[in-house]
Chain A
Amino acid sequence: MHANKPENFYQNVTEALAQPDLKMIIRRTTDKAETKRAEAIANFPEFEKARQQGQKVKDHTIKYMDHYLAEFEKNAAAQGTIVHWASTGEEASKIVLDICRQHEAKKVTRSKSMLGEEIGLSHALDNSGIERVETDLAEHIIQLAGDPPSHIVWPAMHRSREDVIKLFREFHKDPTYSEEITDLVRSARRDLRTKFLTSDIGISGSNFLLADSGSSCTVTNEGNAELTITPPKVHIVTAGIEKLVPSMAHAVPLLRLLTRSATGGEITQYITFHNGPKRPNDADGPEECHIVLVDNGRTKMLADGMEEMLRCIRCGACMNHCVVYKHIGGHAYGSVYPGPMGSVLTPHLDSLKVANKQTHACTLNGRCEEVCPVNIPLPKLLRALRAESWQKKYEPLTNRYVVKAYAQLAKRPRMFQFVSSCGVVFMKLFSRQGWIKSMPFTGGWTRNRDLIEPESKTFMQQYKASKKAKSSGGR
């Protein structure tokens, strides 16, 4: 599958809507996530309080970001972790590659990290000739298929069981010939097991960075992070600077929110805090540990008044509940992060110029904000990006002219009323039996639905007439 580009959004959408099974494919994952989340929240009456607390944790850390970053750096170093700083994704990828080369790594295992995708690490590793093994089952599937991820929690949700059967038979050494999902998972288990144990370097992301201890925390259902990190000699963490929290105790409320919002489970099976390299005599674990702290647009979000977006804990609830995502799927967005959160993030990671169309692909219905575990006002941020792209004149000219003409009219009520009444007369010309099937200037509407026939006169015309009648009748 080719990777879509964000600037081709219109075309991506057309292609997505033309895929006959896409809606069913998306729904089988998002519907379940939506139902399970609702159940989890119903079973957790304190959710609203937890959400407020979670938001405070993130806001506090963001407010004192430089303090906590410095703390983290100091404490991670004290644990024996080597801390690297990267301003851009490219730089971060290069740091990781340099470490791999320095250790003459032939094979690296990776546990799922959206940041890894964001900084283009997969491509960088592939281009360097190092064998890259994705260990999260979904990442494993899309690696075999050569696909970009379509969701931040279920990156392979767009692949059917039939696809997986084909892929595993082609690529696994000892594939299953059963079509049962359990057997398919076992096939991957066998295939990945030897790779875990023979990897030179394990690369992970991090769900939380704890400032007071310099720890990084991974959260998985599969346990693949620990299997990725423990056997190799070197562990590399790549993490965005917004992953910081003051301490483990501050990560706890966010953990409560994360799983419930992501999968509807109450807690993820494996939560592990990684504190540097193995201690002397430890039974296992990496001998060397690196953390690459990545900016890649995050400080720009701070500067641009988008700091609320830095609260994001990557649960995916906003996309699971987004009416637009549910119809076009993740690939249409053309970026690593799809859906509402992606439409806010991508302009900062890439540029608003290439990703402004996505900010308009939203009805501003507010569902994403309603389900966000850390109260990110996504519609407000999307609207703010529209305002920025309006100022920078990224909008198509026709849109600009229409909106400008509207504003010029709407600021002159008399003229507005007059044009409205003319509009009614004009519309009446095209209506049959109470409906307008098509007419000039309404193509966007009548392309897919009919327009009700208006009454003969506008409200204001009728109202004025009746007032006049009343007052003359009264005389």
Chain B
Amino acid sequence: MDNKRNNESRERIFNAIKAAAPTVSMDLDIIQKEAQDILAESEFARPKLLAEDAPEALVNRINAGLVIGTSCEIVASLEDLPHSVNQFLNKYSLPPELKVQNVPKLQSLNWESLSIDVDLQKDNTVGMCWAEYGVAETGSFVVHSSPEMPILLNFLPLYLIAVIPKSKILHYMDDYALIASEIANRGETPRNMCLISGVSGTTDIEGVLVQGAHGPEISHIIIVEDQ
């Protein structure tokens, strides 16, 4: 990096801002108070959910067809996952193989004849990921990058199954932001935090919606109750 140039530009930008607003207070408390006050307005400035209970609201949202290319189901426990996956594969006439995220919770399940390790670089694959959170407002699941979570797992497959623990379904995006700031306070912010609300879509050719632009065409959310 050209440090001299960089510092000069930095200086120029800050000086220009100060020159444009010379009387602005730099009292941190005032700034933080103002910033907090604005957030307090969210309560009155966000959409109504489709149910009071967050998991129910999320399910209603998906079932109402408001989350592009996404379906969902609720299962009692993790042990039910292989069965649900089989049903999903059958529904779309897919071969008995999928890439299951490399987390013990999922890997240790009894997958029977299913092959759970496929090369994601190929197209037409099925992926299965463990979501950290769900968000009812937007019908989203949230993934965090980690040694066990390759971000590409959520983007390369044509079909994606996301598993969300029921207890981790939040009402609003604001609730997730709060959690993100707690994670940050612990110094544990992951490289990527992805809120995924539907599938990879485009309307770039004559305004027609096509799913599966680069990533998933179909997505299925499985909510696990006992987690």
- A213 on the B face (CB < 8 A): yes
B123 close to A193 (CB less than 8 A) = yes
In the complex, the answer to whether B152 meets A230 with C-beta atoms within 8 Å is yes
Task: Identify A66's interface contact among B17, B156, B172, B191, CB under 8 A.
Answer: B17
A267 — nearest CB in chain B belongs to which residue?
Answer: B138
When C-beta atoms are compared, the residue in chain B nearest to A62 turns out to be B21
* Residues in A whose Cβ lies below 8 Å from that of B203: 154, 221, 263
**Least Cβ–Cβ distance between B103 and chain A, in angstroms:** 11
- Considering only residues 38-80 of chain A, those with a C-beta below 8 Å from chain B are 43-44, 46, 49-50, 52-53, 56-57, 60, 63-67, 69-70, 79
Instruction: Provide the B120-132 mask, 1 if CB < 8 A to any CB of A, else 0.
Output: 0101000000000
Q: Are A185 and B202 in contact (CB under 8 A)?
A: yes
Say whether B149 contacts A283, CB under 8 Å.
yes
User: B83 an interface residue at 8 Å Cβ cutoff?
Assistant: no
Cα(A184)–Cα(B181), bound, Å: 42
Q: Shortest CB–CB separation between residue A147 and chain B, in angstroms?
A: 13
Q: Are B204 and A213 in contact (CB under 8 A)?
A: no
Question: Judging by beta carbons under 8 Å apart, are B46 and A46 in contact?
Answer: yes
Q: With an 8 A cutoff between CB atoms, is A189 at the interface?
A: yes
User: Which residue of chain B is the closest to A251 with respect to CB atoms?
Assistant: B177
Measured in the bound complex, the distance between the Cα atoms of B94 and A431 in whole Å is 77
Q: Contact check, B13 vs A295: say whether CB atoms are below 8 A apart.
A: yes
Known: A91-B5, A226-B152. 5 other contacts (CB 8 A): A67-B31, A98-B2, A222-B214, A247-B177, A283-B145
Residues of B within 8 A of A (CB): 1-2, 5-7, 9-10, 12-14, 16-21, 24, 26, 31, 34-35, 38-39, 41-42, 44-48, 66, 68, 102, 121, 123, 137-140, 145-152, 154-156, 172-174, 176-178, 180-181, 184, 189-208, 210, 212-216
**Distance A161 CA – B20 CA, assembled complex (angstroms):** 48
Which listed residue (B21, B47, B140, B204) contacts A154, Cβ 8 A?
A: B204
Q: Which residues of A contact B137 (CB under 8 A)?
A: 267
Q: Which residues of B contact A154 (CB under 8 A)?
A: 203-204, 207
Closest 7 CB pairs of A and B: A299-B16, A283-B150, A302-B20, A249-B177, A223-B215, A49-B45, A138-B204
- Tell me the smallest distance from the CB of A155 to a CB of chain B, in Å: 8
CA distance A295 to B216 in the complex (A): 36
Which residues on B sit within 8 Å (CB–CB) of A276?
A: 191
In angstroms, Cα B42 to Cα A256, docked, is: 11
Tell me if B123 and A190 are in contact (CB < 8 A). yes
Alpha-carbon gap, A66 to B208, bound state (A): 43
Whole-angstrom CA separation of A252 from B137 in the bound complex = 11
Are A212 and B184 in contact, CB atoms less than 8 angstroms apart? Answer: yes
Enumerate chain A residues within 8 angstroms of B38, measured Cβ to Cβ.
53, 56-57, 60, 250
A248 within 8 A of B: yes
Q: Does A303 contact B (CB under 8 A)?
A: yes
Q: How far is the CA of A283 from the CA of B103 in the complex (A)?
A: 12
Instruction: State the CA gap A193–B122 with chains docked (Å).
Output: 9
Given A66-B18, A184-B205, do A272 and B194 touch, yes or no (CB 8 Å)?
A: yes
A285 to B146, CA, bound (A): 10
CA distance A466 to B102 in the complex (A): 93
- Contact present for A32 and B207 (CB under 8 Å): yes
User: What's the Cα separation between A400 and B154 when bound, in Å?
Assistant: 60
In the bound assembly, the distance between CA atoms of A57 and B42 in angstroms comes to 11
Residues of A contacting B156 in the complex (Cβ-Cβ under 8 angstroms): 193, 227
Are the C-beta atoms of A302 and B21 separated by less than 8 Å? yes
Report B-chain residues with C-beta under 8 Å of the C-beta of A221: 200-203, 213
The 8 A CB mask of A261-283 against B (1 = contact, 0 = none) is 00101111111111111110111
Q: A249-B39, A274-B191 are in contact. Are A192 and B45 (CB under 8 A)?
A: no
- State how many angstroms separate the Cβ of B143 from the closest Cβ of chain A: 9
Does A85 reach chain B (CB closer than 8 Å)? yes
How many Å lie between the Cα of A66 and that of B137 in the bound state? 33
Verify if A121 is at the interface (C-beta below 8 Å from B).
no
| A334 is an interface residue with CB less than 8 A from chain B | no
Whole-angstrom CA separation of A86 from B1 in the bound complex? 12
B215 lies within 8 A of A252 (CB): no
Residue pair A185, B212 in contact (C-beta under 8 Å): yes
Given contacts A246-B35, A303-B20, contact A87 B41 (CB under 8 A): no
**A231 nearest CB neighbor, chain B only:** B152
What sequence of 0s and 1s flags, for each residue 370-409 of chain A, a beta carbon within 8 Å of any chain B beta carbon? 0000000000000000000000000000000000000000
Q: Chain B nearest CB: distance from A268 CB in Å?
A: 7
For residue A341, CB closer than 8 A to chain B, the reply is no
CB distance from A168 to the nearest CB of B (A): 10
| Chain B residues near A236 (CB-CB < 8 A) | none
Closest to A102 in B: B1
- Which B residues are CB-close (under 8 A) to A267? 137-140, 197
Q: Which residues of B contact A222 (CB under 8 A)?
A: 200-202, 213-215
Query: Whose C-beta in chain B lies nearest to the C-beta of A50?
Result: B45
Tell me whether A135 is interfacial, beta carbon within 8 Å: yes
With A185-B213, A249-B177 known as contacts, the answer to whether A299 contacts B13 (CB < 8 A) is yes
Q: How far is the CA of A295 from the CA of B192 in the complex (A)?
A: 26
- In the complex, 14 of the A-B residue pairs with CB atoms within 8 angstroms, ordered by the A residue number, are A85-B13, A185-B210, A190-B123, A221-B203, A230-B155, A249-B174, A252-B174, A253-B42, A253-B45, A268-B197, A269-B68, A269-B200, A271-B140, A275-B191
Chain B residues with CB under 8 A of A213: 180, 184, 189
**Chain A residues with CB under 8 A of B173:** 252, 255-256
Residues in chain B near residue A192, CB distance under 8 A: 214
Are the C-beta atoms of B17 and A65 separated by less than 8 Å?
Answer: yes
Task: Select which of A212, A224, A230, A281 is within 8 A of B151 by beta carbon.
Answer: A230
In the complex, A164 has a CB within 8 A of chain B: yes
User: Does A209 touch B at the CB level, under 8 Å?
Assistant: no
Q: Within the complex, what minimum Cβ distance (angstroms) separates B83 from chain A? A: 27
In the bound complex, residues from chain A placing their C-beta under 8 Å from that of B146 are 279, 282-283
The listed residue (B191, B200, B213) touching A279 by CB distance below 8 A is B191
B177 touches A252 (CB 8 A): yes
Q: Which residues of A contact B196 (CB under 8 A)?
A: 269-270
A266 to B118 alpha-carbon distance, docked (Å): 34
Query: What are the residues of chain A within 8 A of B7 when measuring CB–CB?
Result: 85
Distance in Å: Cβ of A286 to nearest Cβ of chain B: 8
A56-B38, A79-B189 given; A295·B16 CB < 8 A: yes
Q: Which residues of A contact B190 (CB under 8 A)?
A: 275, 279
Docked pose: A158 CA to B13 CA in angstroms: 37
Which residues on A sit within 8 Å (CB–CB) of B180? 213, 248, 273
User: 1/0 contact trace for A16-33 toward B, CB 8 Å?
Assistant: 000000000000110010
